[in-house]
Amino acid sequence: MNINTQRHIDAWVGPFLCALVSLWDKYFGRKPNPSEPIQKVLVIMLSEMGSMVLAGPMFAHIQKNHPDAQIHILQLKRNQSVARLLGLAPESHLHGIDDSGLFSLLAGLVRVLWRLRSLKLDAVIDCELFSRISALLAYGCGARVRTGFTPHTQEGLYRGSFFNAAIPYNPYRHITLQFMALVDALQSLSMPRTKAMPVTLKPLDSGLKVHFSQGQMSDFTRELHRDYPLFMKADKRILFYAGGGLLPIRAWPAAHYAVLAKALCEQGYAVGIIGLPEDQALAQTIQSECGHANCLNFVGYTKNLEALTRLFFHSDLLITNDGGPGHFASLTPIRTLMFFGPETSALYGPLTPRAVALESHAACSPCLTAYNHRATPCDGDNQCLKQILPAQVLELALTQLALCEPRDTAYA
């Protein structure tokens, strides 16, 4: 389903349904008992896959605070590959919703709520910022303790009053810390509960890693040597993710990528352009404008997240727009340069010391926020990214390449 259609349904239908549910909960809802143990927890994280990596410390926090609890995860079906790859929960505890169309979405909601209610959940953690559909799912799943973000005294962004362990959303705090605060809120049902929470520093990494058997990696290495011999012969291998995904406003200009690719290739390095199938034309444009044999098109080659992370193990540096690939890279040894502008690294920067955020800090940046449901007021002329010039990025890229440790001989 189109993202704008989802926004409109959430904005117009969502508040009405949330008001009805709030009224029902006021008169017929049961009050939670803080002394009851939490044995089954549902985590709702419908949005982008990269958020699942940023939530890694939150899952560790659940296991620390509630070591005997079963963790269930509710996502859109198209976003479930990260949870599966990392083994964040058993397959039977992964619940998906098909949002490819309105009717499939409605049917999926009915099925998943029926299944979740049968689990007799103790708690639900809604990690979405101000989505009404996730709020309704949090109530509909039947959990006795419901934690999520609340606008508190802010105007607008209404999504009901039925969260009984809500915390105020903090736009100045990294999202990983806010996810962890949601876990702390499960143990405190008084307001304002955030004052009683422990002081927590942002983790240096997500605590998550992806591992492959030697046989799996050997097969992939042979395929790369066969399909991309120029890439594998290069002393340093750089990957570009130039697509913007669902939010094209986040993309650094293709012309800038082409200039950067040419400069890197002329120094003897190899550049591989990765992306989704719909990024094929973009990759061909960059490749054509670069005009160097060492600029290679990998779009469509990595058909799933598992293959993409294997490619990261065989590469030295990823230069990427804000999005999932920059966060998936943190699961591997690759170094990363990641562009931010419409959004900010202060909230969504990757959890790894091997990543560097590139930002111009334009006056209008960031423009994608929880308060506008990531619907930018920008006219498409994303100067916050255009003002980051290829020469600046080249200098940083060369610095990062100099810091790269020798690759494992298995990936040579």
Which domains does the chain carry? 3-196 (3.40.50.2000), 214-403 (3.40.50.2000)
What are the phi and psi torsion angles at 175 (to 5°)? -60, -30
Task: Give the C-alpha separation, 369 to 382, whole Å.
Answer: 16
Could you say which DSSP state residue 36 is in?
S
Side chain identity at residue 330, one-letter code: S
Q: What does pTM read for this prediction?
A: 0.93
Q: Is the dihedral of CA 331, 335, 341, 344 positive or negative?
A: positive
Coil, helix or strand for 368?
coil
Helices (H) and strands (E) in the chain, counts: 17, 13
Q: Along the 412 residues of the chain, how does pLDDT read in single tens digits?
A: 677 777 788 888 999 999 999 999 999 988 887 778 999 999 999 988 899 999 999 999 999 999 999 999 999 999 999 999 999 999 999 999 998 888 899 999 999 999 999 999 999 999 999 899 999 999 999 999 999 998 888 877 899 999 999 998 988 999 999 999 999 998 876 555 667 677 788 898 999 999 888 888 999 999 999 999 999 999 999 999 999 888 899 999 999 999 999 999 999 999 999 999 999 999 999 999 999 999 999 999 998 999 999 999 999 999 999 999 999 999 999 999 999 999 999 999 999 999 999 999 999 999 998 888 888 888 889 999 999 999 999 999 999 999 998 776 656 6
State how far the alpha carbon of 302 is from the alpha carbons of 82, 235, 253, in Å.
15, 22, 23
